[in-house]
Chains A and B, each alone.
Chain A
């Protein structure tokens, strides 16, 4: 009886499995989460997920091609990014910080299953807000986890077509876990935090190998929907210019001073 009781207690002890925990955290290095996503299998590997990169008015965005940045283009830019690829950007000509540069990274960790023919139209929006760029220039490290909202728990708000809904995760909170509670995380945007020196900026690791991408044409200029027709074609357009009532920055950055990764 003593032996049976002991074994029963031991069995119950082993039966207590640890609680479900997150294996991924927002502080993981770029590319780690996407790589583990690929190991799960499924139609993720090799899929070019269309992404739309939005930036404040006037800002220029460059993508990394063969460890070099391509010609700066005005936002929004559309491109097809691979899952788990880490794409280095260069954002220049930021309002009131024209000489400064920010080098964000975009990591796609999941894809959309858009109906055939609608892939380009329903791209994942990656927003480089002016606030985030200012924070990055100020030495802060900004992490933005973009998630697909759960329609069952959608916020009853009218989405501002200029900016998407976003929440603030306080320090100590995992932004990936917060985004997972709100929907399905699909991409991670990181920027700021440190200054890449000239030697590092020329290194291939700075570009994360310059993964391939498919450049896509941005949406053409469209017109607002008429009252008589609700055809979806060409209703949404690229975000128009933001108003010019942005408060001035506290200081200006030189070209060398403002290089932020």
Chain B
């Protein structure tokens, strides 16, 4: 049994539709209502980030532990204060000059931690595993799929060889330590063609992804993201039409006001 929407929620749904059209007005031109919505977005998103950061990490991992008497938590607190030395200079330039260097300590800690984990992660998962999996087991491929198995989307010995040759060609294409000779140029060209196939496929997926996002917004404007009962309470299509009229009116007024000084001149 669906709960009836409150008037606050219905008003919110109309605000949501109006703000959607404010952002979409950018497709016509950069205009004041887009700028207003954009700045509102920045303010709200930073507010949400900070709120979630407080509840997600500061309170449970620092404040609660300090209040519980965990002395080791003084170390991250001290490092946070050292990091704060970066902004002390704004309010007290003399102190900032003297103490600003302290911010390097927590920065060094974080950068080193990231460097350490990224190094091992990339080396293991991308170098070791990906290279190992690129050595085709031709015997098994031959037994399971033969030369080319159409029913398995082209799996087989030919694809296995193509993969390792293509991979090698792409890697050699990115080798710039010495000039490419005639043989290398052929290999490099083949690598480029393999890259183009990949980027083309990527573009196709990207188009699909981007259109999906627009579909989501269109579903809200038409009320298709809600149940029929909720849509009957919110009247999203009426909200969309009215919001569109308001947005268009604002754009027309803005355009006329922009042109008026030019007409006067």
User: Are A and B subunits of one complex?
Assistant: no
Chain A interfacial positions (CB closer than 8 Å to B): none
Chain B interfacial positions (CB closer than 8 Å to A): none
